[in-house]
Amino acid sequence: MVERSIAVVGGAVAGLAAADRLASAADVTLFERQSYDDKRVNCGEAINDTSLIPLAKTPENGFLNDVDGFELRVFEGREHGPNAPPLGTSLIRCPPGYITDRDVVERTWAEKVAADGVDVKENAAVGPDRFRELCRSHDYVIDATGQPALSMRAFGDLDAYTGEIVAVNADVDGDFGSIASSPQIFFEGYVGYAWLFPKSETRANVGIGWAGEERPDEYYAALEGACRRNGLPVPDRSETNIYTIPRGPSLDPAATYRAGKNVVLVGDAAGIANRYQGEGICQAIRSSSLAAEAILEDRPETYPDRLYELMQSEYRLAHLMRGAWVEHGDPRLLARVAEALDGLTVDDITRSPGRVAARLARHPVTASRLLADAGMRQRLVDAYTDSWEYTRGPHPAD
Ligand SMILES: Cc1cc2nc3c(=O)[nH]c(=O)nc-3n(C[C@H](O)[C@H](O)[C@H](O)COP(=O)(O)OP(=O)(O)OC[C@H]3O[C@@H](n4cnc5c(N)ncnc54)[C@H](O)[C@@H]3O)c2cc1C
């Protein structure tokens, strides 16, 4: 039997997961523009479901802090000092979760896929011309280049994405011994949050992200302010990254497969990261598993529907969770919602609308206040009729 030839472009979590799933059944080449020896990641580095990554969960492999869960702390606004009591707190559990050095995880994973037979090419940036050439010379091309996807540049469809989250973050040194097992998330009266994700007792990732339309004039100053208010070390600006995350679904699902070119988009390239908390690593890995499955069955045209089906509950729940911030703008209500969700898992609150609804049903005053808002009710309709902002096809050059 002639093996399928597959080019994977982009070698972070999405690309590595795709290469891993395809290695045993195809002739796979992976192109990554950077070196795996560089610190090459702009991210909070919390991986909520590490069971999706086929590596031993050791510090040597980059899995540094096996966390119990995330502590949510809801404040009235941005006036508090480091010792002020929050309006509400809650612990969202995360049994398979780790705070990682993601560059080390990816380096180790790249070594594994190379050992499994994938031709891993580092320092191998692919430009639009080369991408089009790869489409001609391979049975399939997997675009795992993040957002905006390289295939969009190659085929002139860059305007296809809608909506993004902006986030700023950095690693800092400090004393995190007492809170190492429960990373903290701070809600402070804007649509978004700041975070402290300890990697060890002395090192942590701090950051802040904005999921709404309102954003500060000065991103670095906003991160520094959040650090001061919450008693966190303030990072050096030269060490701070700024980046955008797609707001899933920010791309027409039909555009995640380009039939004429046999290109499949995975991870951030497919525009699927969570629209209220910005998580995208597990989503990227899951999308790559589906893409690999569809390719191995030689039914790539089924990938968009499979991906949408997988993500649908998450899109709905994330839209409604955003509503609790955007429509109400009431930190006290947000605090009651957070408390109602106490003890659920990250998986529950991102992918199980039924579990979230069951919890809120036990807090009828909070639930009825949430639904009293017309905007919230409209969100419910939109989420369950799949009314999203992206532009539906046809897309150029399909
Ligand atoms: C500040 C911040 C914090 C975040 N925190 C978290 C978090 O804690 N947990 C979480 O789950 N998610 C988090 N996210 C989201 C998460 O980082 C992304 O959803 C995730 O990285 C998507 O993975 P990916 O592999 O699809 O794309 P990317 O991580 O964007 O990787 C794309 C890869 O493709 C390579 N590439 C790009 N162009 C080319 C080219 N032309 N040729 C060859 N290679 C190319 C890049 O070098 C890169 O390695 C965060 C995002 C930000 C911005």
**What pTM did the predictor assign?**
0.97
Q: 98: left (phi > 0), else alpha (psi -120 to 50), else beta? A: beta
Can you list the domains of the chain with their CATH numbers?
1-41+102-161+250-298 (3.50.50.60), 63-100+164-246 (3.30.9.30), 313-384 (no CATH)
Q: How far is the CA of 164 from the centre of ligand 1 (A)?
A: 13
Q: How far is the CA of 184 from the centre of ligand 1 (A)?
A: 22
Percent residues over pLDDT 90 in the chain: 86
Atom 30 in ligand 1: residue holding the nearest Cα = 146
Atom of ligand 1 nearest to the CA of 243: 53
One-letter identity of residue 27: D
Q: To the nearest whole number, what is the mean pLDDT of the chain? A: 94
Atom 28 in ligand 1: residue holding the nearest Cα = 146
Q: Using CA of residue 131, residue 132, residue 137, residue 139, what is the dihedral sign?
A: positive
Phi (first) and psi of residue 7, to 5 degrees: -105, 130
Q: How far is the CA of 147 from the centre of ligand 1 (A)?
A: 8
Q: How far is the CA of 216 from the centre of ligand 1 (A)?
A: 23
Q: Is the pLDDT of residue 398 over 90?
A: no
Atom 51 in ligand 1: residue holding the nearest Cα = 43
Atom 53 in ligand 1: residue holding the nearest Cα = 243
Q: How far is the CA of 149 from the centre of ligand 1 (A)?
A: 11
List b or e across 227-257, with b for residues whose CB sees 16 or more CB atoms inside 10 angstroms. bebbebbbbeeeebeebbbbbbbbbbbbbbb
**Is the distance from CB of 191 to CB of 325 less than 8 angstroms?**
yes
Residue among 249, 384, 380 nearest 320 (CA): 380
HSE value, Cβ hemisphere, 13 Å, CA-based, for 321 = 23
pLDDT, tens digit, 9 for 90 and up, residues 195-239: 999 999 999 999 999 988 889 999 999 999 999 999 999 999 999
Atom 49 in ligand 1: residue holding the nearest Cα = 12
Atom 3 in ligand 1: residue holding the nearest Cα = 43
Listing DSSP states for 51-82 in one string gives GGS-S---GGGTEEEE-SEEEEEE-SSS---T
DSSP-derived 3-state class of residue 199: coil
Token output for 249: 């679904």
pLDDT, tens digit, 9 for 90 and up, residues 164-197: 889 999 999 999 999 998 899 999 999 999 999 9
**Is the distance from CB of 235 to CB of 223 less than 8 angstroms?**
yes
pLDDT, tens digit, 9 for 90 and up, residues 80-126: 999 999 999 999 999 999 999 999 999 999 999 999 999 999 999 99
Residue from 35, 275, 281 to probe ligand 1 pocket by mutation (most atoms less than 8 Å from CB): 281
Atom of ligand 1 nearest to the CA of 205: 8
Q: How far is the CA of 281 from the centre of ligand 1 (A)?
A: 8
Give residue ranges with CB within 6 A of ligand 1: 9-15, 31-34, 42-46, 125-126, 144-146, 150, 167, 169, 207, 243, 245, 267-269, 273, 278-282, 284
Tell me which residue has tokens 């009266």: 189
